[in-house]
Amino acid sequence: MTRRGRFITLEGGEGVGKTTNLALVVDHLEAHGIEVVRTREPGGTPRAEAIRGLLLDPAGNEPLDDDAELLLVFAARAQHLARVVRPALERGAWVVCDRFTDATFAYQGGGRGIDASRIAELEAFVQRGLTPDLTLLLDMPMAAAQRRLEGRLDHDGGERDRFERERAEFFEAVRRAYLARAKAAPDRVCVVNADQPLDAVQDELRTLLDDRLEAWS
Ligand code: T5A
């Protein structure tokens, strides 16, 4: 019987370096001969990416209701789990995902103030017990992450999305909620200091991955 693959997620606030470091995680696992599916949330399938568009689009004069935002996040997740994550894990591939449900507890819970018990109900309904095996939480002070984000936006010429337009208090609440999640699940969530040169962040990530690979072998 094929052994189920491992499910690894990267988390953190805006601009902490998730996308940059996702590539390192994927490369490191592939160098160990592991088949890896790289994906992201919200998104990961054409329909889930369409929902991502609704969530991130700052345009329009109709504000998005917080409950509608929460349900859209989980609608995208249900589609992503059904079409990408579960099939990959079942055939023995590992899945490395840029954000997952910790982001919902951080953004919709911490940021928007939705009760965690309500989020947990949807988590149970949509995920039916599937949770990440390992979560790498990139953590750094919000102001420094904002400077990085501005650097990237200047470089790419992009516009801030609907979340990136939030105020500082929103991002502080997101960070607190992430750190609370890490404290509550220390075996699953590893906090990585993202406020250091990229080489140092990546050394830390490689060490964490090697520890897990050894523990899981
Ligand atoms: N969301 C998502 C919810 O509200 N609920 C949910 O349940 C989920 C799943 C998705 C949005 O959706 C919300 C949260 C988000 O707002 P996203 O694109 O996944 O959006 O998230 P962002 O944080 O916006 O992604 P970014 O691409 O902006 O940030 P990253 O990926 O954290 O950062 P990255 O890798 O692009 O790096 C930013 C810049 O910093 C540099 C990079 O080169 C880049 O220029 N950098 C460093 N510079 C110096 N030192 C280092 N160590 C560096 N690491 C990276």
Read off the pLDDT of residues 135-191 as tens digits, 9 standing for 90 and up: 999 999 999 998 988 888 888 878 889 999 998 999 999 999 999 999 999 999 999
Going by alpha carbons, the residue nearest to atom 5 of ligand 1 is: 104
DSSP structural state of residue 189: E
Amino acid identity for residue 161 in this structure: D
The ligand 1 atom at the shortest distance from the C-alpha of residue 155 is 45
Question: 19 CA to middle of ligand 1, Å?
Answer: 6
**Ligand 1 near 103 CB (within 6 A):** yes
Do the beta carbons of residue 114 and residue 108 sit within 8 Å?
A: yes
Query: Tens digit of pLDDT for each residue in 77-91?
Result: 999 999 999 999 999
Say whether pLDDT at 59 is over 90.
no
Query: Domains of the chain, with CATH numbers?
Result: 7-216 (3.40.50.300)
CA dihedral 133, 136, 142, 148 (to 10 degrees): -130
Say whether pLDDT at 117 is over 90.
yes
Say whether pLDDT at 60 is over 80.
no
- In angstroms and rounded to an integer, the radius of gyration of the C-alpha atoms of the chain is 17
Say whether pLDDT at 126 is over 90.
yes
Query: Tens digit of pLDDT for each residue in 25-51?
Result: 999 999 999 999 999 999 999 999 999
Say whether pLDDT at 61 is over 80.
no
Say whether pLDDT at 54 is over 90.
yes
* Phi and psi at residue 169, to the nearest 5°: -60, -35
